[in-house]
Structure 1
Amino acid sequence: MSEVTRQLRVLDDSEDRQLLKVAFATSDRQVVNQHFGSARSFAIYGVGLDEARLLTVTEFGDLAQDGNEDKLAIKLETLQECIAVYCRACGASAVRQLLALGVQPVKVSEGAQIAPLIAALQQELKEGPSSWLAKAIKRNQVADDNRFDAMESEGWLD
């Protein structure tokens, strides 16, 4: 079983709910260079039309690439609020589990830089999202609406 060994989280998250969370399997926060199942770390960015910022970096212990399904549980938990995860490769079981969670796995070629991937995602948001991205945006809006409904049901003090 894998575990989180270290996590960096940006504390100023006042506007993070407005941003779409996108994960990248990366060892250096510059290039997508890891297979999903054996990724040693994820960098999660908040992406909006005109901004993108690093929100969280989560590091995991050493993992074998094949043969241990337990290694996925902590990664899936880490990506719960994300709309997508960019990685070098992703096994069939992991793809099924990610999609069930509402996270779109995106396979990229070797040497894919994170900054241009974010810029392409922002351009897609501006021009009109693809079907998976439109679904993710809708899910994100429903989650925000549910959050406000829950707050209202708790009651407000004058």
Structure 2
Amino acid sequence: MSIARRLQLVGCTTEDKWMETALKVAFATSDMKRVDQHFGAAQSFAIYALDQQKVCFVEAVEFGKLDMDGNEDKLVAKIDALKGCIAVYSQAVGASAINQLKMKGIQPVKISPGASISSLLESLQQELREGPGSWLARAIKNTMPADPSRFDEMEQEGWEE
């Protein structure tokens, strides 16, 4: 199973400075408006970039015909399509997919069937403004480049074997 079609919008992705700090999130959807898909059988993902003030649709990734047959080979293409995302929202996600997503630094978020993508984006922005919760704070921290001086204090203490 592979990606059947990937459509990217040029507007947001060309705003390099903003995209460097924006967070990317994906939604398992069939209509690009609601989260209505199981992660493993998702027909498509709608991927957005956001910060406290701005939300931008970045791309849509569509997959070929899928069956919920337990075949995990299809997960590879889906997880690869989420490169750079901090989270993926879906109706459900299997244990193996959860483990694979977390290994890639992507938080799986299970939500009620039919939840509006625009409402979820507004909630995420509100959470960013008020102070992110545990998984979101962890995701933000993981997107920050490592401080090159983080070991300076240890180096000054010296090292003995």
TM normalised by structure 2 equals 0.85
Moved more, 3-12 or 36-45: 3-12
For residues 1-158 of structure 1, what are the structure 2 equivalents within 5 Å? 2-12=1-11, 13=13, 14=15, 15-142=18-145
**Deviation string for 1:91-137 (max 9, x for gaps)?**
00000111111100011111200001000001111111111111111
Q: Distance in 1 between matches of 2:59 and 2:22?
A: 13
Q: Report the alpha carbon displacement of residue 34 of structure 1 after superposing the two structures with TM.
A: 0.4
SS of corresponding position for 1:45 = strand
Moved more, 110-119 or 7-16: 7-16
Letter of the 2:96 partner, please give it: S
How many pairs align?
Answer: 144
Letter of the 1:11 partner, please give it: V
RMSD: 1.4
Q: Distance in 2 between matches of 1:109 and 1:120?
A: 14
Matching residue of 2:151: none
* Percent of aligned pairs with the same amino acid: 51
SS of corresponding position for 1:142 = coil
SS of corresponding position for 2:33 = coil
Q: Report the alpha carbon displacement of residue 88 of structure 1 after superposing the two structures with TM.
A: 0.5
Greater than 3 Å deviation, 4+ residue runs: none
